[in-house]
Amino acid sequence: MSLTRLDGIDPGRIGVFAGPLNAQPASVQREFVREMEQLGYGTLWYGESLAREAFAQGAIYLAATDRLVIASGIANIWARDAAAMVNGSRALGEAWPGRFILGIGVSHAPSVRVRGHEYERPFSAMRSYLDAMAAAPWRGPDAEVPPIVLAALGPRMVGMAGERTAGAYPYFTTAAHIREVRDILGPEPFLCADLPVVLAGDLRAAREIGDRHLDYYLGAANYRNNLVRLGWSDADLERPGSDALFEAIVAWGDLDRIGEGIDERFAAGADHVALNLIGADPSRPPVAELRQLARFARRD
């Protein structure tokens, strides 16, 4: 595993992205991450929406666990200035050494506008933001900046992730794209691959559960444009997506079939696979899925 840029942090080979956790009370979140730790998962990746602020959320998860690595995936650069971003990450890294990874990204135009900003020139915005993070003053106790990982899809952003940060976390994409990302990064940078997972007996049942996920993300220009760049047709991208696109993005079926999807991401060059747990009821934390998929965490 390529972990030379993670400063001694070992995220394990298998993590979890649990989007439904965002809307849950802190007590439920604590129970979920404690069970993750007990089941042997390496890392929890969590998004930043208009719910809890990213570092407040990270502190809830870190305080509830003893070993689990916690990674923002992603913290929105438009939600705070660069000094607040880097110093917030220092605070978590100093309080819980070796357990926090700072994933950051440019987010999406609608999410940026709702915060009162204009979404334009995302590559230049990220480059300037990284410069400002590097120059930010810090007057707290001696503390290193935790490893930074970029949410990156296109070749230029992936290239910047490899040159300026620990690595990349491409989201809502295919194994073919993971292979392209690894080729751009080279062998050393860390690469986390997102993998939506639906436990279902057949494709129809899987789509009944998973189409909610595809429909939502196909409505985001960044993800759609990346898929167009990768060669997917307008027909494939008509929401909620073709069967072929569903098969390329989502691991579905029984545990053996899902294991094949995980192995495909590793074969494409991922160091770490974040299982994006999609349950039939998005209002409930995906505890049943967490337990059923734990055998893959224990393969580490």
For residue 112, what pLDDT is reported? 56
Q: What does the pLDDT average to over 117-138? A: 90
Q: Is the pLDDT of residue 99 over 80?
A: yes
Instruction: Kindly tell me if the per-residue pLDDT of 1 is higher than 70.
Output: no
pLDDT at residue 111, as a whole number: 62
Please give the pLDDT value at position 201: 93
Q: Which of 1-15, 31-45, 90-104, 240-254 has the lowest mean pLDDT?
A: 1-15
Q: Residue 121 has what pLDDT? A: 86
pLDDT of res. 104: 97
Q: What is the pLDDT of residue 110?
A: 54
The mean pLDDT value of the chain amounts to: 94
According to the model, what pLDDT value does residue 212 have?
A: 96
pLDDT at 94 over 90: yes
Q: Which pLDDT tens digit goes with each residue over 211-234?
A: 999 999 999 999 999 999 999 999
Average pLDDT over residues 181-210: 97
The tokens for 69 are: 């690595």
- Cα 277 to Cα 123: distance, rounded to the nearest angstrom: 30
Q: Which two tokens mark 252? A: 């579905």
CATH of domain 14-199+254-297: 3.20.20.30
Q: Is the peptide bond before 262 cis (omega within 30 degrees of 0)?
A: no
More confident residue, 300 or 149: 149
2 pLDDT tier (thresholds 50, 70, 90): low
Scored b (16 or more CB within 10 A) or e, 47-66 reads: bbeeebbbbebbbbbbebbe
pTM (whole model) above 0.85: yes
**pLDDT for residue 109:** 52
CA 158 to chain CA centroid, Å, is: 14
Does the pLDDT at position 82 exceed 90? Answer: yes
- pLDDT above 90 (res 261): yes
Q: Is the pLDDT of residue 115 over 60?
A: no
* In the predicted structure, residue 166 carries a pLDDT above the cut 60: yes
In 82-222, DSSP assigns E strands to 100-105, 148-150, 167-168, 190-199
pLDDT at 113: 61
CA dist., res. 61 & res. 10, Å (int): 17
Q: What is the pLDDT of residue 288?
A: 96
| pLDDT at 298 (0 to 100) | 81
Q: How confident is the model at residue 114 (pLDDT cuts 50, 70, 90)?
A: low
Q: Per DSSP, which regions of the chain are E strands?
A: 14-17, 43-46, 69-72, 75-76, 100-105, 148-150, 167-168, 190-199, 251-253, 272-277
pLDDT tens digit sequence for 19-44: 889 999 999 999 999 999 999 999 99
Q: What is the pLDDT of residue 117?
A: 57
Q: State pLDDT tens for residues 170-182.
A: 999 999 999 999 9
pLDDT over 60 (residue 143)? yes
